[in-house]
Chains A and B, each alone.
Chain A
Amino acid sequence: MAERLSNREGIRGMANPTRYGIERVAYWLQRLTGLGLLAYLIGHIYETSSIVNGKVAWEKMLELTQTPQGHIILTIVIGMCVYHTANGIRVMLGHGGIGVGKPGEPEYPYKAASLNYKQRLCIWVSIALAALAMMYGAAVLFGD
């Protein structure tokens, strides 16, 4: 009832990337990749800790992670890492007021200057770089 009264869209509304253009998709991907990378960081620190238990433990861990499934996960991590970095730099510069356009007299139909082609291009470039990195990563991992 309290939720209904406050009428907040909630997590479902926040995580819905479909309604407000590519910038909202970029925001959603940035969050998702951030959470994914944090999970990977924790997992990576845990898996590498097996080295302190000697060669047998390390090789046992490698047997578990150096599998086709492990390579797929690592390929996704590469994509997440590249997207999060490239889009993160765009967002960071934007947060400093760089590349968000200049204020001026708004004219009908009121296209927002901050949602300009440079921003959209950077988002698409981030996605493309992530895809390329994933392809390269997959080639290295599966080419072994």
Chain B
Amino acid sequence: MAVVAIPKASEEATSAPTPTTQPNTITLRISRFNPSNDSLPTFAEFKIPVQKWTTVLEAILHVKQNLDHSIAVRYSCRQASCGSCGMKINGKPALACYTKISEIGSKVVTVEPMSNFPIIRDLAVDFKQLFSDHKKMKPFIMRDDSEITPGTKEFVQTPKDLEKFLQFSYCIKCGLCNSACPTMATDESFIGPQGLAQAYRYVADNRDQGKKDRLKIVDQSHGIWRCHFAGSCSHVCPKGVDPAMAIQLLRGYLMGFRK
């Protein structure tokens, strides 16, 4: 019979794992801006301890819990699935939960709200335009018949068919691509890489019959032709969606290179 001994308090203290690495101290600079009170953003600086595994989001939450409760930051899943914590980290758009401070390789980490999105407060930005442009692309299967019509079967799709659009369906709408896009930097009416990539995701789906409609939507003066294949969107995408590829493949239909 196995005997489980409850360790005494003194034993417990000695048996606890000892940290193998001492925390480093970094300076976290957080952009502060409240549109209703401020005319310009300012930076608040905090010295905080970090471990090898500390993410930027954890660092911000450390500040929020211990040093300044008033910092506004949007986050949810902490595992690069929800797309809430996009921000500029040392000048480049990235997910805060997906970026380890040790990987940045700097003792000073500056976090700012994503560019090309209106600031709600501090690090939280407004996604209204992104969601509106996403909706304009009709992000659903368009066809006359339905799988739920009595007497019909489900739509058949081979793994090869699936591969044509699967990677584009991994978009988590974090907005990093729109933040990195050079056209979005000045063009307020541009649909943006997120919306255009989603248009291709449905056009490439063999169950969909809305290609003509979507091509008409993107073929306008602030549509697909304002993408110049700078590739910055794909450079920052945290899910491997590769919006630049989707946009060029979609444009292939308009150029007559694809049927």
Chain A positions within 8 Å of B, measured between CB atoms, are 1, 4-11, 13-14, 19-21, 23-24, 26-27, 30, 91, 94-98, 100-101, 103-108, 110-115, 119
6 A–B contact pairs at CB < 8 A?
A: A10-B185, A21-B232, A97-B255, A106-B239, A112-B240, A114-B234
Contacts of A107 in B (CB 8 A): 240
Instruction: Assess A106 versus B244: contact at CB under 8 Å? Given A23-B231, A97-B252, A112-B235.
Output: no
C-alpha gap A11/B113 in the complex (Å)? 18
C-alpha gap A61/B87 in the complex (Å)? 55
What's the nearest-Cβ distance from chain B to residue A114, in Å?
4
| B119 and chain A: residue at smallest CB distance | A7
Could you tell me if A27 and B163 are in contact, using CB atoms closer than 8 angstroms? no
Chain B positions within 8 Å of A, measured between CB atoms, are 33, 35, 39-41, 91-92, 113-119, 125, 163-168, 170, 180, 182-186, 188, 204, 228-232, 234-242, 244-246, 248-249, 251-252, 255, 257-258
Could you tell me if A5 and B185 are in contact, using CB atoms closer than 8 angstroms? no
Among the listed B33, B166, B244, which residue makes an inter-chain contact with A105, where contact means beta carbons less than 8 Å apart?
Answer: B166
Contacts of B168 in A (CB 8 A): 103
C-alpha gap A104/B188 in the complex (Å)? 32
Could you tell me if B258 and A103 are in contact, using CB atoms closer than 8 angstroms? no
Could you tell me if A114 and B165 are in contact, using CB atoms closer than 8 angstroms? no
What's the nearest-Cβ distance from chain B to residue A45, in Å?
27
Contacts of B246 in A (CB 8 A): 103
Could you tell me if B245 and A30 are in contact, using CB atoms closer than 8 angstroms? no
C-alpha gap A114/B231 in the complex (Å)? 8
Could you tell me if B231 and A6 are in contact, using CB atoms closer than 8 angstroms? no
C-alpha gap A15/B163 in the complex (Å)? 35
Among the listed B118, B165, B232, B235, which residue makes an inter-chain contact with A7, where contact means beta carbons less than 8 Å apart?
Answer: B118
| B246 and chain A: residue at smallest CB distance | A103
Could you tell me if B164 and A103 are in contact, using CB atoms closer than 8 angstroms? yes
Could you tell me if B185 and A13 are in contact, using CB atoms closer than 8 angstroms? yes
Contacts of B186 in A (CB 8 A): 8-11, 13-14
Could you tell me if B182 and A27 are in contact, using CB atoms closer than 8 angstroms? yes
Contacts of B237 in A (CB 8 A): 110, 112
CB < 8 Å A-B pair total: 156
Could you tell me if B185 and A110 are in contact, using CB atoms closer than 8 angstroms? no
Interchain residue pairs A-B with the least CB separation, the first 8: A106-B240, A97-B252, A110-B240, A112-B234, A23-B231, A27-B230, A114-B245, A9-B185
What's the nearest-Cβ distance from chain B to residue A89, in Å?
12
Could you tell me if A115 and B244 are in contact, using CB atoms closer than 8 angstroms? yes
Could you tell me if B115 and A9 are in contact, using CB atoms closer than 8 angstroms? yes
C-alpha gap A86/B119 in the complex (Å)? 40
Instruction: Assess A97 versus B239: contact at CB under 8 Å? Given A7-B125, A23-B231, A27-B228.
Output: no
Could you tell me if B249 and A115 are in contact, using CB atoms closer than 8 angstroms? no
Contacts of B231 in A (CB 8 A): 20-21, 23-24, 27, 112, 114-115, 119
Instruction: Assess A114 versus B166: contact at CB under 8 Å? Given A7-B119, A98-B257.
Output: no
Could you tell me if A4 and B182 are in contact, using CB atoms closer than 8 angstroms? no
Contacts of B230 in A (CB 8 A): 20, 23-24, 26-27
What's the nearest-Cβ distance from chain B to residue A83, in Å?
15
| B257 and chain A: residue at smallest CB distance | A96
C-alpha gap A1/B230 in the complex (Å)? 29
Other contacts beyond A19-B180, A97-B255: 5, CB < 8 A? A7-B125, A27-B231, A91-B228, A95-B248, A103-B245
C-alpha gap A111/B235 in the complex (Å)? 8
Instruction: Assess A14 versus B115: contact at CB under 8 Å? Given A20-B235, A97-B251, A114-B245.
Output: no
C-alpha gap A24/B238 in the complex (Å)? 18
C-alpha gap A64/B253 in the complex (Å)? 50
What's the nearest-Cβ distance from chain B to residue A118, in Å?
13
What's the nearest-Cβ distance from chain B to residue A104, in Å?
6
